[in-house]
Structure 1
Amino acid sequence: MSLIALVQEKLKHHPNRFNHILGVKERALELQKIYGGNAAAIETAAILHDLFKYDSITEQTQWIKDDNEVIKYQSVPVAYHAIAAAYYAKDVLNIDDPIVFEAIYYHIWGKVGMRLETMIICVADFCEKNRTFHGAKTVYELSKKDLQQAFILSLEYTIEYLNEGGLTPFYEQLDVLKYYKETPWNY
């Protein structure tokens, strides 16, 4: 079974999420053509990044082998779907590629010192063509000119959204934003 077929079957009751995944794949490969990076890893990560999006927290955390990871993200359980998908890709699908693992694991807000492929997945996830929320189109247009600035802007929009909703951004989000605002990045 192809990865697309696997994801389509898993998300058969969530067609909008499946369309989102196809949009992330398309946008990520578009950005790969501009900035480079491993196209196969980018495509794989894009296809699998939201595989566990609609599973329960219990189902998501069963794939996370390190209890410290579960504890670390308990205040932001949205992270579990990403971590679970990364481990599933590695442990079940036998995709033993650190580029794919990192890009899936950190697709929500990236990480300090991330690979190019991870930043591409983060930006593509925020601004794929089906996204209609505030900032998606602006981030997309910027992403074609400056990937790092597009990434920064996507995090700023996300943090603004969380703050407006009375939610506290996770400390990693803030650390990543600070790092990329202060650190020129060569890609």
Structure 2
Amino acid sequence: MTLTVTELGELVDGLAGLPYGGEAVDQRTHALQAGWFAAEAEADDELLLAAVLHDVGRAESVRTEYPGLPHELAGAEFARKHLSESAAWIIAQHVPAKRFLVATDAGYGSLLSPASVASLKKQGGPMSTVEAEEFRGHPRWEDAVRVRRWDDAAKDPDGPVLTTEDVLTVYRRWLGGQEHSR
């Protein structure tokens, strides 16, 4: 079931004022800033949308639809229903990607905010070698890592952001591509 452009705009704008776990930005700014980083990296439309929606599982409407799931899994279910299986996987994996990076990139842990360090402990800490190899086995693992890095960087209250209209333009283009691929 495809989300309408209006529904996506309302969802993104509805994140305004929603706290982001002790960070200096709200969920809307965080989402739009992650999208900005994706756009700067010339991500394809699906990856940019996954970056914007990586924390959509924290939105009240999504939490209500998928009660009891961690935000990354609720967001993945939302993306599976409204975007694609690939976007769903990337969204589901943005938390494991943090665990992966802590385990495989010696300098990564020092880049984490205090709130992200605290949540890492709850998320299971660094991946084991076996978990990291399994993670690397997925064809989109690098995209999940990219979203994770954009997620980490998207915490600056004065940083650049996409506008909601920018996101909707990407979504319209992505929808058009979906129509042509059928």
TM-score, structure 1 normalization:
0.48
The structure, 1 or 2, with the larger RCO (C-alpha pairs under 8 Å, 6+ apart) is: 2
